[in-house]
Structure 1
Amino acid sequence: MTETITVRRAELADAPTIAALVGRAGEDEAVLDWVLPDERARQACAQAWVDLASDWVGGALEAGEILLAGDESSGIGGLSVWEFRAAGQSEAPTTADPGRDERQAAFLARAYGRYAPRMALVGELIAARHPDREPHWYLQQMAVLPALRGRGLGGAMLRHHLVRADADGIGCYLEASSPRNRALYERHGFRPEGEPIRLPDGGPALQPMWRDPHRAPSPAGT
């Protein structure tokens, strides 16, 4: 019997769960593997996520929403991070907190250590291609625990948020980091947006993808 997947919006109290999930689900993620090529660096990064979870999660909730997905037997096994971007805005939303930028820089230094410039480069290449022609939701990150992949958690989170985006008439944007991810997003209406973003030194190619809002057909005769 297939279990029902539940999806809910995260709160700040979920920060420890989110941090642990990011660390475990990101162990085999293509971009993170490129940024952090050795196991010791990946372990240090995962610990930094745990130690600084509340600040990072608080910033993500200010900029948009985090969705958590799971089922009764396995618990929470997936998350997706969505940022709302206004027209003309190709980078993460600014905040009224004057110390947040410094804390984010400190987080990057602690989480990525001597590989922080590689992570910064990823951010620069992504920002250079980010569309700013209209308001949209940006799927900044989606992660599912390796043992729970293929059970529909990613699709459930996408459907949950796309209902909201469609109701508001808002498009969505993301970068697919693998052929498997790209196929999932295409099934939900995303299409390639230009050429892939290629990371140097044999790194992965990230495919920008865009989805126009889907509008329900008008009733017959109206």
Structure 2
Amino acid sequence: MGVVIRAAGVGEREQVVRLLDRAFQDDPVSGWVFPDAAHRRATHHKLMAAFVDVVLADGRVDLAEDGAACALWLSVPAGEHADEDGPVQLREAVDPGNERVELIGRLTADIHPSGRAHEYLWMIAVAPERQGEGLGTALLQSVHDRCDREGLPAYLEASSARSRKLYERLGYDPLGHPLDLPDGPQMWPMWREPRPRREA
């Protein structure tokens, strides 16, 4: 049975934020940004909300019809560079006393490729109780199919060794060196070249 995917609307913002919050509570990078578990439970959702707001304004949130999975995508033009003030504004909005909120934004912006237009997978989340059912793969494949039709590459940063292996199976290759978060885990920048379309 196929997975029905549609674009989420502004009215589904809270649903998407809750899904991201649940899916990333135990993620290594979230644990680094918010090392105190109680503070993470109280504050992590604000970071997810900030991300969703950016993507609802400038990109696309794909949502599985049953609400169990979502993917946040941005179309990045060639030569575009990150907003220098973005990480500062993010920190002020989410957790002003936590410099890691700003630092994660700066570090990922520094490694983001800018030479070619591409689709950027900012985040993908599957409800913990639904993981392993192929929902994440279906969400990715719908955008990969469009990338292949349009000749567009795709880019992401894997935040765990487990997710990195999934992305490798879906055609992503490591791009440069891993990002070593200070006193924290690694993130892996990954790039997927568009695949030639097969003639029917």
TM-score by length of 1: 0.81
Greater mean alpha carbon deviation, residues 21-30 or residues 191-200: 21-30
Instruction: Tell whether 2:197 aligns with 1:212.
Output: no
Shift of 1:46: 4.1
Q: Deviations over 1:159-217 (max 9, x none)?
A: 0111111111111001111121111111111101011000011x111111101111213
Name which of 55, 60, 76 aligns with 1:60. 55
Task: Report % sequence identity.
Answer: 36
Name which of 67, 71, 80 aligns with 1:80. 71
- Classify the secondary structure of the residue corresponding to 1:195: coil
1:41 touches 1:112 (CA, 8 Å); kept in 2?
A: no
Shift of 1:77: 1.5
Q: In structure 1, what is the Cα distance between the partners aligned to 2:17 and 2:164?
A: 25
Instruction: Tell whether 2:177 aligns with 1:177.
Output: no
Describe how 1:4-153 pairs up with structure 2 within 5 A.
4-48=2-46, 53=49, 57-69=52-64, 75-91=66-82, 105=89, 108-115=91-98, 117-153=99-135
1:139 touches 1:173 (CA, 8 Å); kept in 2?
A: yes
Stretches of structure 2 that go unaligned for 5 or more consecutive residues are none
Shift of 1:110: 4.6
Shift of 1:218: 4.6
1:30 partner amino acid: P
Shift of 1:149: 1.0
TM-score by length of 2: 0.89
Q: Deviations over 1:118-152 (max 9, x none)?
A: 12111111111111111001111111122111111
1:44 touches 1:111 (CA, 8 Å); kept in 2?
A: no
1:21 partner amino acid: L
In the alignment, which residue of structure 1 is the partner of 2:169? 187
Stretches of structure 1 that go unaligned for 5 or more consecutive residues are 95-100
Runs of 4+ in 1 over 4 A off after TM superposition: none
Q: In structure 2, what is the Cα distance between the partners aligned to 1:56 and 1:27?
A: 15
Q: May I ask how many residue pairs the two structures share in their alignment?
A: 199
Shift of 1:90: 3.3
